Structures are given as C-alpha cells and as structure tokens.
Chains A and B, each alone.
Chain A
C-alpha cells in the first residue's frame, strides 16, 4: 500500500463512530469473522448515546400485551408524518424487541415489572407504554453494555482518532484517512468496507442538546464519497431543553418527565397543549384535563394526554406560547411534575433530572416546576441507505444510526433512536462483513488521495490569515439558530445561504498557532468544514420543501402539502456544489397501508 509515509492499518470492516450504532455494528461485523476496527473521536464510552435518557422503544408487550410490531410501526410512521421509509420502519418495529432482550443477555439491568420482566414507560407518540429503560439514564446502560461486550470480541479500537476523508478506488470505498487527536499524526486505513456511525449535526445550532462531537463528519464524508442525503430539512428540535442559566441552555430534559406524569404549563398556569392538538392526532388525543390524567392509569378507556404529542408538535406549541408572551421568566415554559408526583417517585424515576436541575440551576424539581424550551436535538434525515442492508449509493460504504436517514421520516418519536441504533447497527455490521467476505477483487489505495487529505489538514497552520475557529463556530451557530431554526421562511433561508458562503470564506483564512499535539483549535478548524457542509445541506433542503411537515416548519407555507408528502428531498454533491432534487418515496405495500388506515 502506498502509505509508507503514515501509520497504516488494514481491515475488512472499519466502523467510524463508537456510539450505540457503531458499537453494535462492530460487534456484529466481528462476530461474522471480519477483521474489524472501531474508530471514535472521543474515548470509548463517551459518545453521545451516553446522554440518551428516556429509553429504548420496543413492542415487548410486557405492560400491554396488545402491543406488537404493527402498532409500533404505525406509531412510527404517523410520528414521521408518513415521510418515513416504510421498510425501515417495519424492520425496526419487528426487530427492536430482540435487540433489547439481547442487551439484557449481555448484562444490561433494565427497570423491572412486579413479576420481574422489563418495565416499559410511556413516551410521546407511542400508543402503549413501550420504552425499556433504566431510570433516566438508559443511554449510559446501553453504551456500557455494548462497550463491555465489545471489549472481549477482539475488535481493534482507535480512540481519539478523527477521520477526515474516505479513500476510493474507482467507485468503491477502499479506506479512510484521519489523525490522532493526541499527537496530530496521520493514520490511514485500508479496508473493504466502511460503516458510518458518526451520529448527528447538532453543534451547528447555538442551543443544542448535543455533545461537541456532533459536527456532521459522517454526513460530509458520505457526501464527498458520492452518497446521497435525504430529509435533511426535517431536523428535530426537542421541545424540552433547559433554558436557564445561560451556560446550560439546551441541555436535554427527558420526555420521560412527561411520560411519568409531568405537564407543560404557561405563565398563566394553563395546560396549553390542549390548544395545540392537530387534526392528524385529534382522534387519539384527550381533549380534557380529566381524561388526560385518567390516561396514565387507564389506557383502554382514555386517550393520550396532549403533553405527549410527538416532539415536533410540542416544540412548535412551546415556541408559539413564548412568542405570544405567555412564557416563563427566562423565555421557556414550565414543566411541572412537582405538583403531580411525590418526591420519592420523582427521585427514583428521574434521578439525573433531579441532579441536573439541583446542581446546575438551583432548582429542586420535586418542589418547583422546571423552565424548558426547544433545543436542537436530532437529525431525522441523513445518508440515504437501503433499508435491509444499510448500503449507501457508494459500494463498500454503509451507514447506521443517526447519520442514516429514512426510518424517522419528518419527525422521530422519542425512544426510537436507541432501538434504531441497535437494529440498524447490527444490520450494517452484518452486511458490511458479508460484503467484505464476498468482495474478491483487489483494492488499491491511491497515494495522491492520501496526500491531498494530509495537505488539507495542515493548511490552517501554514496560512497568514487571522481568523479564529471559535469565533466562526459561534457565528455559524448564531446564523443557524436565528435563520434555520424551528420556524423558517424563504427570505431567512436565503439569507442563511449568503451567511454560510461568507463563513466558508472566513474558514479559508483560519490560522492555527501552536503544534499538532492535542490542539483543540486545529480540531475545530477541521470540524468546521463538516459543520458548514451540513448546515448548507439543511438550508438548501429547507428551501426546497415548500410546506410544513414534522420537524420542518415554514411560516410561508404553514400547511402540509399532500403532493410533497410523496417525495423526499435529496441532496448530492456535484463538484464543489450541493444539488437538491425531489424524488418519489418508495411505494408502501398494501398490507402495511392497511395498518395505517383507521384512527385507533
């Protein structure tokens, strides 16, 4: 291999990203006999999955035996405003229970029912209590279980290693190139298959629940390699993030608060969600406070509280209340569980929330309401993949988890992310390993590609300019927050495109001082390229979808357009430009259409 200048490795399957999807993919690829590498930007076990709180959605039927994959499928599709890839939604609903039981067999300790089975919790948009959980730290349980399982499987782990480009031999992926964060030295991987499991793009916004790693690297790697993106405009703003104090604004407040009995109130003390029940969900949503309260204990005879409408609906409602001047003192609304559940229950069910508010905001959630508001949370869209195999448009390139699009359509239901990671992480690992096994040709790594990527990484040290990467990142976040936030208009989106162009110009003048040893300014300078690319993709897709659907709300097109419901907005890269076109969604078979018919 023409890589003598740099540290080089050779594998069958390289998994980029070590959150839930990456770990599950690596475990599966390795179990299939593939020589597997797992690469992550942080230390192992620190990926964003660790922050998931509420639970893993799976129709285990432990609480409600009437629950099954068909109901879960229907909830997922309706939550996604039917923009979902139906086959992904079907596989996800069918396989999630096995993936949860598998975690238990690997040592996870989920909260229990009285007869010793896995307890399930209510969550937005799910008809039945469906989320397997551990208090409000389910993500930690999941990532640690996977991590400890993986450690004994002979997977080579490359921690604190950032991939900046994929290598190709003709049309195929043949490797990946990056640097060690600690030393700044370059490293190249030759591999038959790459699985992208890099998560999302939340660091493009100012108020975000995401960790620093969420800079859209995987989306950018995929675009550069020739893969396609779908549904990028449908970015999810979680309705409940902390709003005060300023330094913690955006930190997530789990939907489990509402699942466990918490309600949203405005400054007048009104449970305002009753005013925001959309026609689409009217038949299955309670319209009085009495019925909503009865629903927590009797789901058969009552309809769900509107506090647990899907996230897009709740986020928009909060936004509207604040705009109308009925917000809380720090620009959010109140989330009250203190007046509805006793302190012991709250501390047992929501220990992290209790801890988080007590230590960061001096608020005791067993005594007073929380102040909450929307926060950038999750990329509903992402890299377009084949539902069964997780293959992208590029041979040898697979994607799973948040970085992949399709399952969630225009809006993801809470709890469907952790199950997504497990179901499609496994599928990506399985099919990547099979692809590697079946590939009989030879792959050659082109030294020119490697050197071009290395040169690109080093440019910021060599410039004379004087731009500061932190300042550019801050300006990008301001731009996306104010112009490509929850509510969008054509004028603002076009203005955002102009600002993105000028930010890109400034990026070319970034000057990094110091050396390559663990230099965060340099790391950010490189991450900014991805952040700008994904920001542009979201903005261009948002301009193209001239309607409001799920996570994408256009003030100038406030209604859903049935015609646009039939298409995905697809983003590709042609030369240096991003192109946007509409493509028809795959047609759903009749038997699944039947599942969606009817309101109950």
Chain B
C-alpha cells in the first residue's frame, strides 16, 4: 500500500507491505501500519462503521470512506494508493484541515419553525418529510466538498461558495414542512449556488447515496430562479420598490 506521508511543507508516498486477512478494509490496513511500522501515521477516524464520516481519503484516486472500502475491491497484488483529500489544506499525512466546512455551517440561516398544534407538537406527514430525511442522512464526510471542482480546482472560490454538503443542508431546511424562512437570496448571493454546473461528481461519491444534484441542488436552483429571476416577480419588485 502506498500512503501519503508529509505535511504542508511537502511529502511523498511511502510504500508499506501488510499481510491482509478476510474482510479487511483500507482503514484496517492503515491501523496495522500504525501499530507495526509507522506509529505516528496521522489519520482521522471514529466509528469504523460508515456512520461518522471521519475517515475520508482518496483511495486509488477515488474519494471514499476508508472504513467502507473493502480490500477485495482492489486487484490482489497491485499497490493501493491512499492520499489525503485534495481540496482541504493538509495538516499531516492523511489528515486535512476541514474547518472551511464548519465556517460555512455557521453562516446558514437556522431552522425557523412555524406555529405548532395547540398541544405544542407538529403534525407532519411521512410523505412530506421523506425528502428531508434523505438529506438528513448526510454524515458530513465532506467527500462531496472534496470532489466539487468549483473549490477543488479553484480554492479562491471558497469564500463565495457553500458546496454540495451545504446545498443539501439548505435543501433540507427549505423543504422542511414546518420551516418558514426563505433562503433563496442567501443561496444566490452567499452560497454561490450559481457556480454549480451540475456535473454530479458530488452525487457519485456520496457514501449515503444522497441524490445531491437531482434532489437538492436542482430544486434549489429552480427556487432561486422562481424567486429572483422570474420576470413577473422581477417587475413586481421594481414597481413596489422591494428588493
């Protein structure tokens, strides 16, 4: 296995040979390397069950969770390359600085519920929350952010772009049956939704199989179009002097 070793100043792939046993995943191999060959090999992980989204990396060039990447996916005898996510600044070895995502999260207009029933609870039908529940499956592995070429190839876009993870979050809020806020202007001006040209790279790498482009981004784009670019609405805004 070829694993990236290094920090912001530079580094290189280093080769390790590890005996494997049945059922092993890439993260198991990384742990074996730590225990026997490179004690200080830096890697982030928590649950090792595909639920926390900590162990994201690029395995043979494909962004994925190391804990869900079975070794038998790869041809026996050929080297496997494990590299850190490219879009985020490298801290050390396989660990990157993902604080960008936490900064975006802070700017998202919060859930703003409407009036509850007289007994203080909400009534929501299952079919009205199915889509929201799909979005809530997100484990924040940030693989979609990593693969999104708006920021992967152009870090300068980061200050004006939320990225797929946060379009999913915004779609969840916008489609929540009890939410009363409107985030179209935020999406247009702050989250940079227009940068996305729906290449679906994010959907392809999502370990939770959320249809990010089809179910989140495109409906949000339609919403922005309806609320901002619709000629009738535009004219009404001009005449009434409202923005």
Contact = CB atoms under 8 A, between A and B. Distances in A.
Contacts of B179: 107
Interface string A25-49: 0000000000000000011111110
A448 interface: no
Contacts of A118: 121
A519 interface: yes
A151 B106 contact: yes
Contacts of A361: 23
A481 B79 CA distance: 35
B70 interface: yes
B49 interface: yes
Contact of B39 (A135, A213, A360, A521): A521
B218 interface: no
B23 A248 contact: yes
Contacts of B123: 115-117
Highest count of chain A CB atoms <10 Å: which of B98, B116, B121: B121
B28 interface: yes
A517 B8 CA distance: 12
A245 B23 contact: yes
Nearest to A45: B140
A522 B132 CA distance: 41
B40 A134 contact: no
A50 interface: yes
B201 interface: no
A465 B95 CA distance: 28
A104 B129 CA distance: 12
A520 B48 contact: no
A484 to B, nearest CB: 23
Interface in A114-128: 115-118
Given A106-B111, A247-B24, A137 B137 contact: yes
Contact of B53 (A46, A116, A474): A46
A44 to B, nearest CB: 7
A246 B51 CA distance: 19
A512 interface: yes
A101 B124 CA distance: 13
A140 interface: yes
A171 B146 CA distance: 49
A112 B136 contact: no
A45 B42 CA distance: 20
A152 B181 CA distance: 15
Contacts of A135: 133
Contact of A251 (B21, B48, B121): B48
A244 interface: yes
A519 B111 contact: no
Contact of B125 (A51, A116, A355, A522): A116
Nearest to A114: B126
B46 A211 contact: yes
B129 A521 contact: no
Contacts of B93: 518
Interface string B38-50: 0111111111111
Contact of A213 (B22, B46, B121): B46
Contacts of A42: 44, 46, 52, 54
Nearest to A514: B40
B110 A148 contact: yes
Contact of B46 (A212, A474, A518): A212
A471 interface: yes
A470 interface: yes
Contacts, number: 168
Interface size class, chain A? 35 or more
Nearest to A113: B126
Contacts of A46: 46-47, 52-54, 140
Contacts of B36: 470
B68 A360 contact: yes
B1 interface: no
B129 to A, nearest CB: 5
A360 B23 contact: yes
B34 A352 contact: no
Given A104-B121, A144-B136, A471 B35 contact: yes
B35 A360 contact: no
A360 B70 contact: yes
Contacts of B137: 137, 140
Interface string A181-204: 010000000000000000000000
Nearest to B120: A101
A246 B98 contact: no
Nearest to B126: A112
B121 A101 contact: yes
A430 B238 CA distance: 50
Interface in B82-138: 91-93, 95, 97-98, 102, 105-106, 110-111, 113, 116, 120-126, 129, 132-133, 136-138
A252 interface: yes
A114 to B, nearest CB: 8
B196 interface: no
A354 B209 CA distance: 13
A468 interface: yes
Interface in A499-531: 512-514, 517-522
Contacts of B125: 112, 116
A359 B68 CA distance: 7
Contact of B133 (A109, A117, A521): A109
Interface string A129-150: 0000011010111001000110
A105 B47 contact: no
Contacts of B39: 468-470, 512-514, 520-521
Contacts of A116: 122-126
19 contacts: A42-B46, A46-B53, A46-B54, A48-B47, A51-B51, A107-B176, A109-B129, A109-B132, A112-B124, A112-B126, A141-B136, A148-B105, A182-B97, A247-B21, A360-B68, A469-B39, A513-B40, A514-B40, A517-B7
Closest 4 CB pairs of A and B: A245-B23, A521-B39, A107-B111, A470-B35
